[in-house]
Structure 1
Amino acid sequence: MYLFLRSLKKIYLKRRNKILEENNTQNPQTETIVTASAGKHDDFDWSANKKNVRHYSDADREKYLSDYDKSFVTVNDEEILMGQVVSITATDVVLNIGFKSDGLVPLSEFRDIANLKVGDKIEVQVVEKENAKGQLTLSRKAAKTHRAWEKIVDAFKTQAIVNGTVTSKTKGGLIVDVFSLETFLPGSQIDVKPITDYDVYVGQTMEFKVVKINEIIKNAVVSHKALIESDIEQQRLEIIGKLEKGQVLEGTIKNITDFGAFIDLGGVDGLLYITDISWGRITHPNEVLKINQKINVVVLDYDDEKKRISLGLKQLLPHPWDVLENNIEVGSKIKGKIVNVEDYGAFLEINPGVEGLIHVSEISWSNAPINSKEYFKLGDEYEALVVTIDRAERKMSLSLKQLTPDPWSEIETRFPVGTRHTGTVRNTSAYGVFVELADGITGFIHVSDLSWVKRIHHPNEFTKPGNSIDVIVLEIEKENRKLSLGHKQIEEDPWDTFESSFPLGSIHQGTIIKKDDKGALVSLPYGIEAFSPSKHLKKENGKLAELDETLEFKVIEFDRGQKKILVSHSKVNDDKMQEEKKDKAVKADKDRTDTRNELKNINRKIEKSTLGDLGVLSNLKDKLDKSDDTPQAPEAEGEQEEQA
């Protein structure tokens, strides 16, 4: 019982002093009652010499203690409570939160409150019910942070809009103060348009939407772009709801591509195709349009399912064909520039959106093939004659050649058959050469009419485009505009002379100028070329003659009609061998005849012979026997008769 009363005494004194301090704070003039510290009576025996002392049972004591404890609130760590300022010291603020003891909050957490005073109610969070000193520690900052995070979480869940102030720039974005908490604003979430300069946003107060939170580290990501997109979407729905074909709207060029431009119509984008930008031909939209340029466009089509809007710019103006001058008709001369070139011709633009076709056949009076892509260049200006015009179909055909008279109308008088002229090689083909004799007059030399003597496989071996060449007019087809020319005809046919110069069996020096598996082409005197088959190229050593070798060749065939000569080197060698063999046989016959005649003379004198003569006779017989072993030449008739 003594201990119980002692405890109550301590509590009483503590509460009384607290009340007195509050009264003194509110009424400074009230006399301060100084109470002796309870610690000075800790060893005093209150039960000594006392009368009428009431004793309490253990059960009563427990009950009184329980009732007393119920008069205080129960707190837990990190719990947020409302407290009242009891006193303010140099370092701490003392708050009563209804707990058994008052709590302490660092004074530094109240810097934002200029006139903090006793009695003010402050929301705090329990940091620790009893620290090492036995004190209850509280935190206003922790309570504020907790409440701020609750607001951010609530804003995230309800998609509510929050206000924040951009405090600084960081890597990849900005730091935004929302409810006194730092949040992250990524650079991609600042605006719908790309942002390069983040500094202009520092210090600005803006509206944001919380788009991401992390409960563990208490971190949040905010977006200003989401609000803009939300506004844009609302505007888009309003615009789409009012869209109609033919409606004219003002827009801003948002982006330009190779195929067109995207136009911002105030929350919704439309596509302006390159073909709908101008009535005239353009190769790229940036020739006419610029980024951020404001233009009026007309709605051409709208796909409600795909949410696509097709726009037109040229449709705001009348079609150029509808306002084309009436004085442009067949036979009119017009000027324009080349805007497109195809294999079949070129398109000449008279006005933007009004074009005429110059067909490749209307370029020149000449029948020589013309490559339109080499003849015309984009942007070049030409004057042309209107050949046909169809305003309903919006088509026009033009001609360059008809600006001048047809040169073929006087072809027979200007270039009669058999006359000689000098022309310019314009082109070559595998079959011959195209030669321009005058503007619009082009003739053709067949490859067979280039040379009397040379074998020409392709005209490029004989001449090149741009070279001058002399020709003879061979034939004129006025209706078909064809002119046959010859070059070899400027000289007489040398084959009449060649027939006597290269008779069969004649031998000539020749040089191999070309060779293949079939044989070799041999250059003979006078520039004539002959052919030697491979089997006729064998030399004495058994090897075949090689390119650039100069050898003797024998004419083995001469065809004047086909203008063909065949020659052989092998025949030359064979003839030499036969000749040598013949010469040896003739010499052997002569030696044999001489020996027989000498033997006859000796036989006549045999009767007068001596032993020495007999030895000579024996030698002659041996010589005669040896001569019989050599080949015999054909005997002349006289010799045969004499021997007979």
Structure 2
Amino acid sequence: MSVQRSSQSFSASDFANALAAHDYEFNVGQIVTGKVVQHESDGSYIDIGAKSLGFLPIDEASLGSTKRLSETLPIGTEQQFLIIREQNEDGEVKLSIRRLQMKLAWDILLTYQAESKVFDCRVVNANKGGVVVEAEGLRGFIPRSHLVDKNNFTGLIGKTIPVVLVEIDESRNKLILSNRLAAQASAMSQLTKGQLVTGKVSSIRPFGAFVDFGGVSGLLHVKEISQKYVSDITSVFKEGETIKVVVMEVDESRNRISLSTKILELHQGEMLENSAQVFEEAEARLEKNISKLWDA
């Protein structure tokens, strides 16, 4: 028994119609998977399953500095692309990796903001108001008031520093970060109740003295200076003076650190009589009085 071949031929128009029937519809904003098939001086052609190849312009290839596409996207490489222009009269679709990376970067940063996450970014430039940084490939700004080192902007260029997000607005391309708050968060996470630290008196108020140490600031309340009543804090401490204090409480939710020197006294009023000796013997005194901290 012989098998007869169909006499019906499959014409070029039939092939075109069949191809069209299986063609994909592409829209701006759609993410597609494609394969690099050809490089040109101004970009690369990508097979995304359309009747014609998609085109990736060289300035849409990366968020960072543009390198040779043959190095960053070798022939045969498969990855995702964002459609930024619909098919033209030749059926070509314009693609972007850069804008896809931007979209993903904004999503990552929004997650960081929701988690109050401390992350690293690189300083790329500086001006009198602060420094420009690269955060997940996006440009952001750290105002001077939010820097730990407020006096050496140019020295930060090229360095990686920890930051947290202060403000993020993708619609306005606005990204404000803080190095100071990141340092505070990191330092606070390492503090424990009963820890002895050395710091500098940054300011004195009627209710107490603020002490800076390790990138954070804590309050030494007037009632925690000595077991004896203190009528004038400036008679005990001077701004700029280095002292030793004990961490009494760390409240990360309110960004507050409570300090004490009273716990270092072996008898009432020592801080007022001879604070230098109290600080010299601080470690031994704290060891002797540490139980009072937990009884308080």
- TM-score calculated relative to the size of structure 2: 0.65
Aligned to 1:566: none
Retained in 2: the 8 A contact 1:272–1:313?
no
Could you tell me which amino acid in structure 2 is paired with residue 89 of structure 1? E
Shift of 1:68: 3.9
Retained in 1: the 8 A contact 2:162–2:183?
no
Determine the C-alpha separation between the residues in 1 that align with 2:269 and 2:138: 62
Aligned to 1:5: 11
Could you tell me which amino acid in structure 1 is paired with residue 74 of structure 2? K
Instruction: Say if 1:137 and 1:265 are closer, same or farther in 2 by CA, change over 3 A.
Output: closer
Question: What is the 5 A alignment of 1:212-291?
Answer: 212-236=167-191, 238-239=192-193, 242=194, 249-257=196-204, 259=206, 261-264=209-212, 269-271=218-220, 273=222, 285=234, 289=238, 291=240
Instruction: Say if 1:289 and 1:140 are closer, same or farther in 2 by CA, change over 3 A.
Output: same
1:82 matches 2:17: no
Shift of 1:124: 1.9
Instruction: Say if 1:211 and 1:131 are closer, same or farther in 2 by CA, change over 3 A.
Output: same
| Gap runs ≥5 in structure 2 | 1-9, 275-296
Could you tell me which amino acid in structure 2 is paired with residue 93 of structure 1? S
Could you tell me which amino acid in structure 2 is paired with residue 227 of structure 1? A
Shift of 1:204: 1.2
Identify which of 173, 179, 182 aligns with 2:130.
173
Aligned to 2:48: 97
Retained in 1: the 8 A contact 2:197–2:213?
yes
Shift of 1:84: 0.8
Retained in 1: the 8 A contact 2:201–2:238?
no
Instruction: Say if 1:130 and 1:166 are closer, same or farther in 2 by CA, change over 3 A.
Output: same
Aligned to 2:285: none
Q: Percent identity?
A: 21
Retained in 1: the 8 A contact 2:52–2:90?
no
Shift of 1:97: 0.5
SS in 2 for 1:101: coil
Equivalenced residue count is 248
Could you tell me which amino acid in structure 1 is paired with residue 139 of structure 2? E
| Gap runs ≥5 in structure 1 | 12-64, 244-248, 321-351, 354-644
Shift of 1:308: 5.1
Shift of 1:134: 4.9
Q: Deviations over 1:342-374 (max 9, x none)?
A: xxxxxxxxxx79xxxxxxxxxxxxxxxxxxxxx
Determine the C-alpha separation between the residues in 2 that align with 1:264 and 1:105: 53
Structure scoring higher RCO (CA < 8 A, sep ≥ 6) equals 2
Instruction: Say if 1:138 and 1:274 are closer, same or farther in 2 by CA, change over 3 A.
Output: closer
Could you tell me which amino acid in structure 2 is paired with residue 185 of structure 1? I
Q: Deviations over 1:558-597 (max 9, x none)?
A: xxxxxxxxxxxxxxxxxxxxxxxxxxxxxxxxxxxxxxxx
Aligned to 2:243: 295
SS in 1 for 2:99: helix
Q: Deviations over 1:592-621 (max 9, x none)?
A: xxxxxxxxxxxxxxxxxxxxxxxxxxxxxx
Determine the C-alpha separation between the residues in 1 that align with 2:24 and 2:131: 44
Q: Deviations over 1:144-193 (max 9, x none)?
A: 222222222232334344331111124532211112111122223223xx
Question: What is the 5 A alignment of 1:344-355?
Answer: none
1:146 matches 2:103: yes
Instruction: Say if 1:307 and 1:221 are closer, same or farther in 2 by CA, change over 3 A.
Output: closer
Shift of 1:258: 6.3
Instruction: Say if 1:209 and 1:75 are closer, same or farther in 2 by CA, change over 3 A.
Output: same
- RMSD between superposed Cα atoms in Å: 4.1
Determine the C-alpha separation between the residues in 2 that align with 1:272 and 1:157: 33
- TM-score calculated relative to the size of structure 1: 0.33
Question: What is the 5 A alignment of 1:317-332?
Answer: none
Q: Deviations over 1:416-439 (max 9, x none)?
A: xxxxxxxxxxxxxxxxxxxxxxxx
Question: What is the 5 A alignment of 1:121-132?
Answer: 121-131=78-88
Q: Deviations over 1:89-112 (max 9, x none)?
A: 232311111112111122344433
